[in-house]
Amino acid sequence: MTENALKRKERLQSLKRKANNNFPEVENSTESKKIFRNYESHDLQISTQKAEPGCVEAEVRIQLDSMTIPIVIDEIDIANLAPRKPDWDLKRDVTKKLEFLERKTQKAIAELIRERLRTGKDPEDFLLQAVNAAAEKADDKSDEE
């Protein structure tokens, strides 16, 4: 049993030695380190043209003068600042369709009421006339649009 353990231990050590030989350590590497320097071109035309510093005082003076003029800020609408619900754009797009459907719904309700009043045995005709008058006004209004 100890013999097997010694063989295993020896085999593992030999594998470690082989692995170390295949991958040399970074400290022992003989690679040259990179040296970063400012770039100097080999072209004489480029190397002779150097940028001259501009006149910064004039630019600063212009900016300071513009700061003395009061800046007028438009009134901020609170509705634009408040966070919107995630479906606000969908509601905005569907409102026209909903208005049309709302008008149709109101007309259908009025028609159902008229039918009930016609078939009903209620002697009061003034209710029927009131509903008809309101329906005619709604029809005239929708026709104008």
Between CA 102 and CA 96 the distance in angstroms is 10
Residues 6+ apart with CB under 8 A from 114: 128, 131, 132, 135
More confident residue, 50 or 110: 110
Give how far the C-alpha of residue 139 lies from the chain's centroid of Cα atoms, to the nearest Å. 44
Between CA 28 and CA 115 the distance in angstroms is 102
Q: What is the pLDDT of residue 74?
A: 67
Percent of the chain whose predicted confidence (pLDDT) is above 70? 66
pTM exceeds 0.75 = no
DSSP state of 99: H
Q: CA geometry: angle at 44 spanning 39 and 49, to 5°?
A: 75
Across 26-40, 57-71, 112-126, 128-142, the highest mean pLDDT is recorded for 57-71
Task: Band the pLDDT of 8: cuts 50, 70, 90.
Answer: very high
Q: What is the pLDDT of residue 10?
A: 92
Mean pLDDT for the stretch of residues 81-110: 88
More confident residue, 19 or 10: 10
Residues 6+ apart with CB under 8 A from 111: 135
Mean pLDDT for the stretch of residues 16-23: 78
Q: What is the pLDDT of residue 83?
A: 79
Percent of the chain whose predicted confidence (pLDDT) is above 90? 14
Write the DSSP assignment of 13-59 as a string of letters: HHHHHHHHHHS--STT--PPPP-------S-HHHHH--PPP--HHHH
